Amino acid sequence: MDLNYIDEGKILKIFTYPSPILKKIATNVEVFDDELKELCRNMLTTMYDAPGIGLAAPQVGISKRIFVMDVEFDRKEVTAADGQTKYEIVDRKPLIFINPVIKNKEGQFKYEEGCLSLPGIYDEVTRAKKITLEYQDLEGNKKEIEAEDLFAVCIQHENDHLDGVVFIERLSMLKKNFFHKKLVKRKKMYSDSP
Ligand SMILES: [Zn+2]
């Protein structure tokens, strides 16, 4: 995909926990049209803007089986004309997965995860180390990819969003309840303020 094309996308609203959309099971994409391309482009723009390494459609309020990802980009410090320090996204490798299905899981890998829908929450989750993923591209072509370590973790995290699961639900009941209370309280604080 043309990288300039990504910058032209819109920044979408990211829904945060405990928003009901994050609990819904997303449905398969049936139509591979321009609307789908536009959604994926907007999701990538939103992900890089956040910045995050992955974003699933339910996180932007669309209950469809789509996620976008880039586990390789870097942020470069640049000095703007007004002398302020800004960050520029470099070395992008945007990926789009439509109707993904995890076919094979091997080994174990522990990684400290975060999520754009659970701001400020980070914890270690154990997932499979190596996976095989079947998916479709923007044209509807069937593809398969093997992923390991961080790449595999990110796919499993994003795929969970399509099944209405956020990563704190992969933690112990104690931690899950702790984070749930913290996030609900924070949400209330925000909605009470003008
Ligand atoms: Zn997430």
- Render pLDDT for 69-102 as a digit per residue (tens, 0 to 9): 999 888 888 888 888 888 888 888 999 999 999 9
- Confirm whether 158 is a catalytic residue: yes
Phi, psi of 134 (to 5 degrees): -100, 140
pTM over 0.85: yes
Query: From the CA of 82, how far away is ligand 1's center (Å)?
Result: 35
Selection from 10, 21, 2 nearest residue 43 by Cα: 10
Cα-to-centroid distance, 17 and ligand 1 (Å): 10
Domain ranges in the chain? 3-186
How many angstroms does the Cα of residue 187 sit away from the middle of ligand 1?
A: 17
Q: Does domain 3-186 have CATH number 3.90.45.10?
A: yes
Distance CA 149, CA 109 (A): 7
Q: Write out the two tokens for 80.
A: 């703007």
SS3 105: strand
- Kindly give the distance from the C-alpha atom of residue 81 to the centroid of ligand 1, in angstroms, as a whole number: 35
Residue 194 has pLDDT above 70, yes or no: no
Beta carbons of 66 and 96 less than 8 angstroms apart: yes
Distance 154 CA to ligand 1 centre (A): 9
Selecting among 88, 139, 148, 158, the annotated active-site residue is 158
Q: What is the pLDDT of residue 190?
A: 66
Are 132 and 102 in contact by the 8 Å Cβ rule? The answer is yes
